[in-house]
Amino acid sequence: MIMKNILLKGLCLLFIYGLISCAAEKVKPKMTYYHGLKPFDLCFTIVDYTAEEIEFKIRINFNSLFMYHLILEGNEPLAEGWYSTLQNAEEGYRVKIKAKRGVVFQPRKTYRLCIGSGSPEEAARYRNSYRCLAEYEFVLPQK
């Protein structure tokens, strides 16, 4: 009888522990965006920008027709998405990247354009790091 009582209490405690651990939020470490190749600055041009959007002209020939583009401030993504890398013969390709809701691009601040082959969400399944294949550090000029 005593053994049955101890076993029952142990199973109840184990069940409660299981519920608590399932309900507890798991905090994932913040994603780290590793610096990629830094092509010559001549490969990148800021065509135009507003507080909500930046347009780039990029003269890099990628093997993929679509690449994932991110604008980062440190390791914080401010804008991101899949964009076509289909190029004109001499021009390269153009990309207009819109900021996330509530984000404002500001002149004289340093940002990074990170171009990768997949999305950070895909990378986060396996690790908390993302490799930029090409990277461009820039400061928005005062208008």
Give the model confidence (pLDDT) of 63-90 as tens digits. 899 999 999 999 899 999 999 998 776 7
Selected residue with higher pLDDT from 104 and 42? 104
pLDDT tens digits, one per residue of 31-65 = 788 877 788 888 999 999 999 999 999 999 888 99
Q: Is residue 79 part of a domain?
A: yes
Both structure tokens of 95:
């990309």
Tracing tokens 């199973």 back to the chain, one arrives at 11
Q: Which residues form the domain of 130?
A: 32-139
Task: Please state, for a pLDDT cut of 90, what percent of the chain lies above it.
Answer: 50
Q: Is residue 64 part of a domain?
A: yes
Total domains present in the chain: 1
Q: Is residue 75 part of a domain?
A: yes
What is the rounded distance in angstroms from the CA atom of residue 2 to the CA atom of residue 67?
Answer: 66
Q: Is residue 13 part of a domain?
A: no
Query: The domain that contains 89 carries what CATH number?
Result: 2.60.40
Q: Is residue 117 part of a domain?
A: yes
Both structure tokens of 59:
């003269």
Concatenated DSSP letters of 25-50: PPPPPPPEEE--B---GGGEEEEEE-
Q: Which 3 state secondary structure label does DSSP give 59?
A: coil
- Return all residues near 77 (Cβ < 8 A) that are at least 6 apart: 33, 70, 71, 100, 120
Q: Is residue 51 part of a domain?
A: yes
pLDDT tens digits, one per residue of 2-41 = 655 665 555 444 555 554 555 444 444 577 888 777 888 8
Q: Is residue 20 part of a domain?
A: no
